[in-house]
């Protein structure tokens, strides 16, 4: 009876464990295995050439395009960390009071985050592309009297990455906004009241009350921004119109290029592991921080 009951309990977790083993654990092990081979994904795997650490050595020492992609992701992340999060914080601060249309703003700001990266990328490409002479931003610049600022935003290597980063911020700030707003609303109003009675200016209470109490939330949003932005790539496919993004490439797109462009499955896996390590380190830092924040 007891045995039958335990067996019955396993039935509950069986479907989850099955799917998880086949589609998570097996590929997870497989990535590590494949990363030590030179394999094109077509020939039978038994004919693949074992390379030892060869793929990893190549990534670390002989692949400038990989490091370019890492730098690009780092640059986009830096802009997201500063511009996007400061904007999100200011908006949240502006909404954290008795004002009209608060709910309207909240609804609107979260529309970009629910859209797919492809939709956002392609509709922004339509607005700023320079191939078909459509560039709405340029037309506006000309219209308001700055024709000399007109520019091929996405094809000029000097501005392409920043353009990508700004569209990324457009898509992402709503997340930070909602989390910041929720954080601000937990700060007791009495604190502000007391500060005002003591003669503190708005700036003083922002600096001495709001910021210190928001530190844990700020750290959290920062880590989430880093993890999310480093892995973003579909937006770039939508924006530049292809998987092989040249000077706006990012690590995930390099992995995709190794797999689909040059049919180097082993190398693609090694790139995935290298990049995964970086992300795990970031996640670990987040874990430490959130633990500290809880205490």
Partner 1 sequence: MKSELYYKSKKITLNILIHLFLISVAITCLYPLLWMISSSFKTQDIIFSDISLIPRHFHFENYINAWREGGFGRNFLNSIIYTASVVFGIVIISSLAAYAFARLRFPGRNLLFIMFMAAMMIPIPGSFVALYVLLNKLHLRNTPIGYILCMINVGLSTSIFLLKTFFDKLPKELEDAARIDGCSKLGIWWHVALPLAKPVLAVVVVFNALSVWNEYILALIIFDSRKFMPLQVALKTFQGEFVTNYPLLMAGLTITALPIILVYLFMQKYIVNGVTSGSGIRMKKLFNV
Does residue number 26 form part of the binding site for partner 1 (CB under 8 A)?
A: yes
Q: Write down the residue that tokens 């497989």 correspond to.
A: 30
**How many residues bind to partner 1 according to rule CB under 8 A?**
94
Does residue number 72 form part of the binding site for partner 1 (CB under 8 A)?
A: no
**Nearest-approach distance from CB 157 to partner 1, in angstroms:** 22
Q: Helix or strand or coil: residue 200?
A: coil
**Nearest-approach distance from CB 99 to partner 1, in angstroms:** 7
For residue 188, which of 96, 102, 99, 101 has the smallest C-alpha distance? 96
Stretch that binds partner 1, among 53-61, 83-91, 157-165, 203-211 (CB under 8 A): 83-91
* Nearest CB to partner 1, comparing residues 24 and 158: 24
Q: Which of positions 268-287 make contact with partner 1 (CB under 8 A)?
A: 268-269, 271-273, 275-276, 279-280, 283, 287
d(CA 6, CA 16): 17
Among 116, 158, 201, 262, binds partner 1 (CB under 8 A): 116
Asked if 169 and 83 count as a contact pair (C-beta separation under 8 A), the reply is yes
Among 47, 132, 190, 295, binds partner 1 (CB under 8 A): 132
* Nearest CB to partner 1, comparing residues 20 and 158: 20
HSE (CB half, 13 Å, CA atoms) of 51? 20
Does residue number 109 form part of the binding site for partner 1 (CB under 8 A)?
A: yes
Helix, strand, coil percentages in the chain from 3-state DSSP, rounded to 5:
80, 0, 20
Among 48, 67, 75, 119, binds partner 1 (CB under 8 A): 119
Q: Which of positions 166-205 make contact with partner 1 (CB under 8 A)?
A: 170, 174-175, 178-179, 181-182
Kindly state the tokens that stand for 83: 């511009």
CB atoms within 10 A of CB 1: 5
Pick left, alpha or beta for residue 154 (phi over 0 → left; psi -120 to 50 → alpha; otherwise beta). alpha
Among 86, 94, 194, 285, binds partner 1 (CB under 8 A): 94
Asked if 109 and 177 count as a contact pair (C-beta separation under 8 A), the reply is yes
Kindly state the tokens that stand for 269: 């896996």
Q: Helix or strand or coil: residue 13?
A: helix
Q: Which of positions 202-261 make contact with partner 1 (CB under 8 A)?
A: 220, 224, 227-228, 231-234, 237-238, 241, 251-252, 255-256, 259-260
Among 80, 95, 154, 240, binds partner 1 (CB under 8 A): 95
* Nearest CB to partner 1, comparing residues 108 and 158: 108
Site map for partner 1, 27-56, x if CB under 8 A? xx-xx--x------x---------------
CA distance to 1, 131, 246, per residue, from 232 (Å): 52, 24, 16
Does residue number 99 form part of the binding site for partner 1 (CB under 8 A)?
A: yes
For residue 73, which of 270, 229, 261 has the smallest C-alpha distance? 229
* Nearest CB to partner 1, comparing residues 75 and 105: 105
In angstroms and rounded to an integer, the radius of gyration of the C-alpha atoms of the chain is 24
Does residue number 293 form part of the binding site for partner 1 (CB under 8 A)?
A: no
């Amino acid at each position: 009876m007891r045995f039958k009951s335990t067996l019955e309990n396993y039935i509950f977790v069986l479907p989850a464990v099955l799917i998880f083993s086949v589609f998570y654990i097996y590929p997870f092990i497989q990535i590590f295995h494949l990363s030590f081979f030179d394999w094109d994904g077509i020939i039978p795997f038994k004919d693949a050439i074992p390379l030892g650490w060869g793929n990893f050595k190549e990534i670390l020492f002989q692949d400038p395009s990989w490091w370019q992609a890492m730098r690009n992701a780092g640059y986009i992340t830096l802009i997201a960390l500063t511009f996007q999060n400061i904007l999100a914080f200011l908006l949240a601060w502006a909404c954290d009071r008795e004002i009209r249309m608060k709910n309207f703003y909240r609804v609107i700001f979260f529309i970009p985050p629910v859209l797919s990266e492809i939709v956002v990328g392609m509709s922004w490409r339509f607005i700023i592309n320079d191939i078909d002479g459509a560039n709405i931003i340029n037309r506006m610049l000309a219209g308001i009297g700055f024709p000399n600022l007109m520019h091929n935003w996405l094809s000029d290597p000097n501005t392409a990455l920043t353009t990508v980063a700004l569209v990324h911020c457009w898509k992402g700030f709503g997340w930070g906004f909602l989390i910041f707003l929720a954080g601000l609303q937990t700060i007791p109003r009495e604190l502000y009241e007391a500060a005002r009675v003591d003669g503190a200016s708005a700036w003083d209470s922002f600096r001495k009350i709001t910021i210190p109490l928001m530190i844990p939330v700020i750290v959290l949003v920062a880590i989430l921004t880093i993890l999310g932005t480093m892995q973003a790539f579909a937006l770039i496919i939508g924006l530049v119109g292809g998987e092989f993004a040249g000077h706006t490439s990012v690590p995930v797109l390099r992995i995709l290029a190794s797999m689909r462009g040059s049919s180097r499955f082993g190398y693609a896996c090694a790139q995935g592991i290298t990049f995964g390590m970086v992300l795990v380190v970031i996640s670990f830092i987040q874990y430490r921080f959130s633990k500290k924040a809880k205490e």
